[in-house]
Amino acid sequence: MSHHPLPKWIGRRAFLGQGVLLLGAASMTKSTIAAASTLPGRSLDDRSVLRFGLITDLHYADKPPAGSRHYRETPTKLAEASERFQEASLDFLVELGDLIDAAESVEVELSYLDRIDQAFSKIAERRVYVLGNHCVDTLTKEEFLGRVGQERSFDSFDAGGFHFVWLDSCFRSDGEPYGRKNSVWTDANVPAFELDWLRDDLAATAFPTIIFAHQRLDDPGPHGVRNAEVVRDILEASGKVRAVFQGHSHQNDLREMGGIPYCTLVAMVEGSGADQNGYAVVDLLDDGTIRVDGFRRQSDYAWRAKQLPGSQ
């Protein structure tokens, strides 16, 4: 099991230790989420314990538009997001998958990755890359991760009295990892060895936990992880997961399942023009609120959870 404290990830805000802030999402109801938009504020920076940026489904490629996807506009959209993120003084940045789009050759796909990551990597020193199906369509996982300088496709770290986990669902039903055009995008799975790791990782932490994923863990449709119910059971059984952030379906969505909010972010690649962009800044506030400030097409969300029964 890998469970890294990553001391460099200490941000500028005062950190709350174990027990001071517990976001009890397990007691949350759908009505709690629905009422989130009435919560106060986008200007409560002094109440933020931790702040991170979220961006997903950039699908950068040097090729003409296909349907609503405008691949060559991603660098311009990313430049705007970069400016906003740097103004926000993030503690870290998470890319929720499909940083690049598929190519017919390894060389071309690596050229897509090199160009977009040159810009993306300058936004924040502390970054997490969640693997999307398009990231490893032609490339192998080792090639993608090696190029962006990340050791693992799934892992965890602690920051500010919170535990953060990113998952890799880019495995076929038979356990084979995606790569070299060996997969179908609707066959996304979290393999048994990763499930075992997730159980152990959640059991080992005393902190409230945030999960990052690409394929959806709350949707039984084609954009969902095929064994998502097993994953959700693990998350719910831990009693520690306060939110799941995900991408893949290119649409805004927020739903509660088993007491956990699942927040899906809009894709950057969809639509042409500056107004057809989408990205978010997430604040974990000192009163137990998780606030998502969306830009352009990304929706705003906020929810405040009650403390779990028996928690300290």
pLDDT, tens digit, 9 for 90 and up, residues 5-36: 333 333 333 222 222 222 333 333 333 333 33
Mean of the pLDDT values across residues 138-160?
97
Q: What are the tens digits of pLDDT across the range 110-131? A: 999 999 999 999 999 999 999 9
Question: Can you give the pLDDT at residue 13?
Answer: 34
Q: Is there a contact between 257 and 219 (Cβ–Cβ < 8 Å)?
A: no
Q: What is the pLDDT of residue 48?
A: 85
The DSSP bridge partners found for residue 253 are: 264
Tell which wins on pLDDT, 278 or 305. 278
Across the beta sheet with 253-257, the strand order is: 155-159, 162-166, 209-212, 241-246, 260-264, 253-257
What's the pLDDT tens digit per position in 282-298? 999 988 899 999 999 99
pLDDT digits (tens, 9 = 90+) for 168-183: 999 999 999 999 999 9
pLDDT tens profile 188-243 = 999 999 999 999 999 999 999 999 999 999 988 999 999 999 999 999 999 999 99
Q: In what order do the strands lie in the sheet with 289-296?
A: 127-129, 92-95, 48-55, 278-285, 289-296, 301-304
Tokens of 267: 């894709």
Domain chopping of the chain, boundaries: 7-304
Question: What's the CATH superfamily of 7-304?
Answer: Metallo-dependent phosphatases (3.60.21.10)
Look at residue 261 and give its three-state secondary structure: strand
Place of tokens 């893949």: 248
Its pTM stands at 0.85
pLDDT at 47: 82
> Rounded mean pLDDT of the chain?
86
Binning the chain into helix, strand and coil, the percentages to the nearest 5 are: 25, 25, 50
**How far is the C-alpha of 113 from the C-alpha of 290, rounded, in Å?**
32
Token pair for residue 118?
């040159």
